[in-house]
Amino acid sequence: MPLFNACGVTSMKKTFNFASCFMSGETATDFTWVITAIGELLESEGIAKPQIIVTDRDLGLLRAIEGYEPFNGIPHILCRWHANMNVLSKCKQHFPKAKWDPATRKAVRAAEFTRFLEAWNALANAETEALFNQKLEHFKEAGRFPDAAVSYVLNTWITPWKEKIVRCFVDRYRHFGYVTTSIVEPANAAIKRFLWGNTGDLSTVFRHLENFWRYQLAEIQGHERQRYNKLFNYTRKLLRNMPC
């Protein structure tokens, strides 16, 4: 059964898990139940809604978030890392294969594919809308890249999701640099350590998750005390050295 984990970030840039649940599947209906449950949890506990949501491009999850009315208006951006990996894996078939370099003992990517990936990154990282439009026209120039590769990028990412992934659109939101889901990985790894394995009844799993949440809370509180003490000691040192 898929384990869904929702994570947030403290003001001290500390990642924390605030919701976990097992899903019977990964359809839009399953994700709708999860998103609704998270929304109800936040409301019942008096927790503020997220200021921004970052996910991968799971269409079922996207539909669930868009269809949950209480989350309407919350900026939602797509993970750039997942987008890059998707473009890399889906478009390489349209270019010459990488060649093995015996000197470095590494596979060397075809120059044409390297230029294509550079053009994709320049497009996704465009800092202004005018620059984005300019890069887009350059990206679509006839004969520059294989039509199939260009069409895939346009149809899969740019046309439907440019406002959730291209920098000039994403930077309209206060995301504090969190434009990938990579912050979830440490939390996922920590949860797996506490679960010990991929089997067990729900009661046992829940007890392990409770232990993880207690550990997580203690770690966050300890981290905040550490930062506070550091700031307090620094301020006291400054005051001591001030001339009277």
CA 12 to chain centre: 18
What phi and psi values does residue 197 have, to the nearest 5 degrees? -165, -175
Q: Which CATH number fits domain 1-75+173-237: 3.40.50, 3.30.1300, 3.30.700, 3.30.420?
A: 3.30.420
Tell me the DSSP string of 94-105: GSPPPEEETTTT
In sign, the C-alpha dihedral spanning 175, 76, 92, 159 is negative
198 contacts: CB under 8 Å, gap ≥ 6: none
pLDDT (tens, 9 = 90+) of the chain, 244 residues, equals 788 888 888 877 788 888 888 888 999 999 999 999 999 999 999 988 999 999 999 999 999 999 999 999 999 999 999 999 999 999 999 999 988 888 888 888 889 999 999 999 999 999 999 999 999 999 999 999 999 999 999 999 999 999 999 999 999 999 988 899 888 887 778 787 887 766 667 788 888 888 888 888 888 888 777 777 777 676 767 667 666 5
Domain locations in the chain as residue ranges: 1-75+173-237, 80-172
pTM above 0.85, yes or no: no
- Specify the 3-state DSSP secondary structure of 107: strand
31 contacts: CB under 8 Å, gap ≥ 6: 23, 58, 60, 61, 63, 64, 65
